[in-house]
Amino acid sequence: MIISITHEHDLDGIGSQAILYRFLTRNKDHGDEDVQLHYAHYSNFPKSIKQFLSDSALPDQLIITDIGFNDEFEELLPYFKKAKQKGCEISWFDHHLVDDSVKEKIKLVVNTYINDPSRCAAEIVKDYFLPDDSIAIEIAQYARDRDFGKYNFQISTDLQSIIEFNRGRDRDKSKRKITKLLASGIFKNDWLDEQLKELADWRNKQEANAINNVKLIKIKDFGEIAISLAEMSGGRIIHVLEENFKNAKGYVGIDSRFNEINLYSDYFNCRQVARHFRGGGHINRSGLRFSGIL
């Protein structure tokens, strides 16, 4: 049995899993029934890993994609070490910033660990498993378009919206369907079109809420930070704020459904702020979960 677990709420996470799934199921040694697709966010990742690596159900392989290493995840290192010693092959492909000392600790307890902030996770997985595959290349192209804020492809925007719409464990079935569609090179079909229709009213309402709820905080000798909340991903909220408050020096988007916070700025170290609240990410964008923020 092979377990794939990936970041649940963006195209890079789903896209990297789709490339992996394409590789695994094209290999005649693995059928569809041999590969389990799972989804996580930073708040439930430790619990999921502990369940997967229990003695009673140890998989042959555990493959983690597009999930960074927050400080609190150090508690998982003994689980990885024990599972590896018992024959579970563990691979981790990521692009979030991780301290060099922590990278070395991870490498000691897993079989493969690749971390490259210059590439998105889908590109890393593509380069490792299917570097010359045209569908894997296209998936990675769309994932990079969203994750690095290029916004050059409408397809990547649509897929990101559909993935955000299907957040939460109760919608894992839909996320698995998206993964398998992408793995087959299907980026547009009737089901995806229907998803876009279903989410249109929700997205428009929540984007309006993000504008109506905005607070502009002026910091002396720095500038303004735009903060807002809505029932949609913090990353999407930040995108709305960027379009409407272009002079702000920083943006904070709060997803009130899951009490998750995203930060974005080219003027301060977002990762360091997130780490203070046991989060993580990149220098100019990061995320955290803080139950006491609202």
Contact 70, 37 (CB under 8 A): no
Q: Is the pLDDT of residue 257 over 90?
A: no
3-state secondary structure of 266: coil
Q: What is the DSSP letter of 72?
A: G
* 3-class state of residue 155 by DSSP: helix
The confidence band for 94, taking pLDDT boundaries of 50, 70 and 90, is very high
Chain position carrying tokens 């994609």:
65
Q: What is the pTM of this model?
A: 0.87
Higher pLDDT, 182 or 291: 182
Backbone angles phi, psi at 293, to 5 degrees: -80, -25
- pLDDT at position 122 over 50: yes
What mean pLDDT do residues 211-219 have? 97
Q: Is the pLDDT of residue 87 over 70?
A: yes
pLDDT top residue among 292 and 55: 55
Give SS3 for 13: helix
Candidate from 28-32, 126-130, 158-162 with smallest mean pLDDT:
28-32
DSSP characters over 192-239: HHHHHHHHHHHHHHHHHHHHHT-EEEEETTTEEEEEEEESS-HHHHHH
**What would the mean pLDDT of 51-70 be, rounded to a whole number?**
91
Nearest 5°: CA angle at 84, between 131 and 124? 20
Q: What is the CATH number of domain 2-188?
A: 3.40.50
Mean pLDDT of 7-27: 95
pLDDT at 43: 81
**Cα(234)–Cα(216) distance, integer angstroms:** 16
Does residue 93 have a pLDDT over 50? yes
Q: Give the model confidence (pLDDT) of 219-229 as tens digits.
A: 999 999 999 99
The average confidence (pLDDT) of the chain is 93
DSSP string, 240-289: HHHHH-TT-SEEEEEETTTTEEEEE-SSS-HHHHHHHTT-EE-SSEEEEE
CATH tag, 208-289: 3.10.310.30
Place of tokens 């229990």: 54
Residue whose pair of structure tokens reads 């993580």 in the numeric block:
280
Query: Which of 127, 111, 20 shows the shortest CA–CA distance to 65?
Result: 20
The answer to whether 181 touches 194, Cβ cutoff 8 Å, is no
The domain locations on the chain are: 2-188, 208-289
Indicate if the pLDDT at residue 183 is higher than 60.
Answer: yes
